[in-house]
Amino acid sequence: MKYLPLFATILLFSGCAKSTDKKAELAVQDFLRNRVSTARNYAPGKFRLEPYTRRDSLLYLAQMAQLSGQPAPPAPTAADTARIGILVHHDYRDQTPDGILIRDSGEYVVRPNGEVRLLIAESVRKRRLAQ
Share of the chain above pLDDT 90, in %: 37
Instruction: List pLDDT tens digits, range 98-108.
Output: 888 888 889 99
| Spatial separation of the C-alpha atoms in residues 111 and 117, rounded to whole Å | 8
116-120 long-range CB contacts below 8 Å, 24 or more apart?
Answer: 116/27, 116/28, 116/30, 116/31, 118/31, 119/60, 119/87, 120/64
Looking at every residue in the chain, the average pLDDT score rounds to 83
Cα distances from 8 to residues 11, 15, 16, 77, in angstroms, run 5, 10, 12, 44
- What phi and psi, each to the nearest 5 degrees, are found at residue 75? -65, 145
The reported pLDDT for the residue numbered 12 is: 46
